[in-house]
Amino acid sequence: MANKQQQTEITTRHVNVYYGAKQALFDVNLAFPKYQLTALIGPSGCGKSTFLRCLNRGNDLLGHTRVSGEFQFEGRDIYDQAVNVMQLRSQVGMVYQQPTPFPFSIFDNVSFSQRMSGEKNPHKLAAIVEKSLRQAAIWDEVKDNLQQSALALSGGQQQRVCLASVLAANPKVILLDEPTSALDPVATAKVEETLQQLKANYTIIMVTHNMQQASRISDQVAFFLDGKLIEFNATKKIFLHPQEQMTSDYLNGKFG
């Protein structure tokens, strides 16, 4: 455990993000330990999703956005000119708030990234699909209907199929932007259970609005407010002995 904690997967320093003239993040420094689940919490508009999107250069897609700071990942800076963005995004996968399966079968959804990068061998693809669906804890529910359209599944199932699609791309880091806020409690519990199992092999960074969720499944919590990182600590410490008054006020529901 101690050894694992020393290894960091992504280290960010002095991160500033601007949307046009408006500054969304102020000098954020965060290091994400390998094989742990870090939760980013804070009220709406505090910049936590903006920060998350920086990590796979998702802000590049929005336009009018300027990002500065250091993002060390795998010995390189994520924003380095030489970085292949497509390769980066397959290593740092992202699951969105709304499940967004593609309009074709479950099998084709999960195997999509592999097929797009040129994998044609049907046995290999089938093996990858099965492994990914098992990891996302949805294999038993869909194994007999892999040719069914992914859009016909329930929201919770769609979200886990999306997770499987991300896993099939062979990532090292998985980013999740409020992955359960559109799901019912049963589906939420399933996704949470899945994430706890995935921690063994992946570094997970998750934005959540749900304090109970953060306390249940995360190892670290980073609390954001008004674009600033207020406090970053082990989950237990944050919830039991927050160092900052603002963190304590937020967790006690005094604002948010």
Partner 1 sequence: MNRYRVNQIMTGILNGVTLLVVLFIAAFILYLLASGMTAINWRFLTTSSEVGLGIRDQLFNSLYLLLLTQLISLPIALGAAMALTLYVDKRSKFASFAQGLIQILSSLPSIIVGLFGFLILVLKFNLGFSIISGALALTFFNLPILTQSIAVSLQGVPDEVMQSGLALGISKWHTITKIILPEAMPGIWSGIVISAGRVFGEAATLIYTAGQSAPTLDYTNWNPLNPASPLNIFRPAETLAVHIWKVNTESLGQDAATVSRGTIVILILVVLLFNLVARYFSTTMRKKVGR
Q: Is 174 in the site for partner 1 (CB under 8 A)?
A: no
Q: Which residues contact 13 (CB under 8 A, 6 or more apart)?
A: 29, 69, 70, 72
Complex with partner 1: residue 127 or 152, whichever CB lies closer: 152
Alpha-carbon gap, residue 157 to 142, rounded angstroms: 9
Question: Which listed residue (63, 75, 118, 122) binds partner 1 by CB under 8 A?
Answer: 63
Alpha-carbon gap, residue 167 to 170, rounded angstroms: 5
Question: Which listed residue (11, 14, 116, 201) binds partner 1 by CB under 8 A?
Answer: 116
Question: Which listed residue (69, 93, 227, 242) binds partner 1 by CB under 8 A?
Answer: 93
Q: Is 96 in the site for partner 1 (CB under 8 A)?
A: yes
Q: Which amino acid is at 192?
A: E
Asked if 180 and 210 count as a contact pair (C-beta separation under 8 A), the reply is: yes
User: Tokens representing 32?
Assistant: 């994400």
Q: Is 126 in the site for partner 1 (CB under 8 A)?
A: no
Sheet of strand 76-77, all strands in order from the earlier edge strand to the far edge = 22-33, 8-19, 65-73, 76-77
Could you tell me the smallest distance in angstroms from the CB atom of residue 151 to partner 1? Answer: 4
Q: Which residues contact 12 (CB under 8 A, 6 or more apart)?
A: 28, 29, 30, 31, 54, 55, 69, 70, 71, 72
Could you tell me the smallest distance in angstroms from the CB atom of residue 113 to partner 1? Answer: 5
Complex with partner 1: residue 119 or 244, whichever CB lies closer: 119
Could you tell me the smallest distance in angstroms from the CB atom of residue 9 to partner 1? Answer: 17
Can you name the residues that pair with 174 across neighbouring β-strands? 93, 204
Q: Is 195 in the site for partner 1 (CB under 8 A)?
A: no
Could you tell me the smallest distance in angstroms from the CB atom of residue 250 to partner 1? Answer: 28
User: Tokens representing 250?
Assistant: 């937020």
Q: Residue numbers of the site for partner 1 (CB under 8 A)?
A: 56, 58, 61, 63, 86-91, 93-94, 96, 98, 100, 102-104, 112-113, 116-117, 149-152, 162, 165-166, 169
